[in-house]
Structure 1
Amino acid sequence: MKLLGILNKDDHREYGICYVNMRADGSSSINGNISDILITKPGLLPEIQGAAFVLRASLDQDLEVGNILAFSESDVILRVDAEEAPSLWKLSVQQGGFISVSSDIQMWKPLHVGILTVSDKASQGLREDTAGPALAKAVSRIGGIVEKQYILPDEQSEIEKLLCKWVDEADLHVILVTGGTGLSSRDVTPEALESIADKIIPGIGEFMRSRTVYYTPRSILSRGLAVTRKKSLIIAVPGSQTGAEECFEAVAPVIRHGVEILRDWEKECGHKK
């Protein structure tokens, strides 16, 4: 799939490059102006109401609501929100940036994500959870949509019970667990993951530590790890916002591919980065 043109519907000007962004209120904008973003195949356009930019693309198949569009030459992530007319779809910006004509576009299935914060103090309302919301925002770059988000105390049995429920009943693709990966007696997240795991993926924990050690030598004390249960990928990262973000950033490029393997998804193993 390739981007062939960017049309401003209002004045019918064609652009070679544009900046797309998601505003604080959730609306989409192009080049700083609030505007709908639509995508269609080359050819005549149906009647369109309101301000809109229309992306013309060589679509080799019809899009479906929920599909994620990733641009190969940037970090832009767009989501298909609705079919406005036959072969015309409305998009929302999940991650902004520049898009340019001739860019390759990859179509992804959305990843259904759960975010679990493990913290005694946060569960009691004594500390604000900043790591969980930061991860919820970060998953957009891999086409993730947060379906579940919760805070639990550092109790191994409760962690195990919730993770099993999210996997066995909600069938989440990815679960990110933040907190409880240190050395204190209350840090039991790794033990909880290992107890419910089908497989342990040592490379993810090893790589998180090898990358984050450049920020702080203390990262080698973290016991972050990754496991699978059924067809779900579960990754444990540190409880601090900075540590959680840095670890996720390190392994984000391989998360989608890991899910593709677990889910036996075809035609989706070619992906950017």
Structure 2
Amino acid sequence: MIKVGIITASDKGARGEREDKSGQVIEELIAEIDGEVVSYQIVPDKKEVLKTKMLEMIIEDGINLLLTTGGTGLAPCDVTPDATLELIEKEVPGIAEAMRMESLKITDRAMLSRAVSGVIKETLIINLPGSPKAVQECLEVIISVLPHAIDLIQDEVDECAR
């Protein structure tokens, strides 16, 4: 089982003014890889709040995979990648690149995503877009490699060759 945390970055969602459909999509898809959501938070688009919640989930909840949704664009309030970059110890650029590459086949706006992914301690953090449709499209691109990535991070792989 993969212990999963979900953070939705949304000022309106945090105030209860918008239903978080993206978090629901993540929860549904993550079940395909034996992922269990053990922690879920909707927080305002504030860098320090995001960093604090990320660390709480990693340290207190012991999650293996942290998926964020929202806050990956160019608006002044979009700070999820910035918070992530301040926490991670290793960047995993291929994950975000793969999501952007496939998303570009659907919309040219995908090139405006600043999503990042990386590792802190034994946790993989991946920034996903904010819309439910984009979350589904991006997560479907990367979901098959996530169990192997978690195993690698936890040093549970003896041989990487196929």
TM range (shorter): over 0.9
**Superposition RMSD on alpha carbons, in Å?**
1.6
Q: Would you say 1:240 and 2:143 are equivalent positions?
A: no
How far is the alpha carbon of 1:126 from its aligned partner?
Answer: 1.3
Unaligned runs of 5+ in 1: 1-109
| Contact kept in structure 2, 1:115 and 1:146, CA below 8 Å | yes
Residue in 2 that maps onto 1:128 = 19
Identity %: 36
1:99-144 Cα deviation digits (max 9, x unpaired)? xxxxxxxxxxx10001110001111111111000110111011110
| Contact kept in structure 2, 1:260 and 1:269, CA below 8 Å | no
1:166-213 Cα deviation digits (max 9, x unpaired)? 112222010100000000000000000000111111111111000011
How far is the alpha carbon of 1:253 from its aligned partner?
Answer: 1.3
Q: Would you say 1:147 and 2:24 are equivalent positions?
A: no
- Using the size of structure 2 for normalisation, the TM-score is 0.95
Higher RCO (Cα < 8 Å, 6 or more apart): 2
> Which residue identity lines up with residue 235 of structure 1 in the other structure?
I
3-state SS, counterpart of residue 185 of structure 1: coil
Residue in 2 that maps onto 1:44 = none
**Cα–Cα, structure 1 residues 157 and 130, in superposed 2: closer, same or farther, change >3 Å?**
same
- Using the size of structure 1 for normalisation, the TM-score is 0.57
| Contact kept in structure 2, 1:190 and 1:225, CA below 8 Å | yes
Unaligned runs of 5+ in 2: none
Aligned length: 162
Q: Distance in 2 between matches of 1:266 and 1:111?
A: 15
Q: Which has the larger share of helix?
A: 2
Q: Distance in 2 between matches of 1:162 and 1:227?
A: 16
> Which residue identity lines up with residue 48 of structure 2 in the other structure?
S
Q: Which has the larger share of strand?
A: 1
Residue in 1 that maps onto 2:47 = 156
Structure 1's consecutive aligned runs of 4 or more residues displaced over 3 angstroms after TM superposition are 266-271
**Cα–Cα, structure 1 residues 118 and 224, in superposed 2: closer, same or farther, change >3 Å?**
same
| Contact kept in structure 1, 2:85 and 2:116, CA below 8 Å | no
Q: Following superposition of structure 1 onto structure 2, how do residues 5-44 of structure 1 map, counting pairs within 5 Å?
A: none
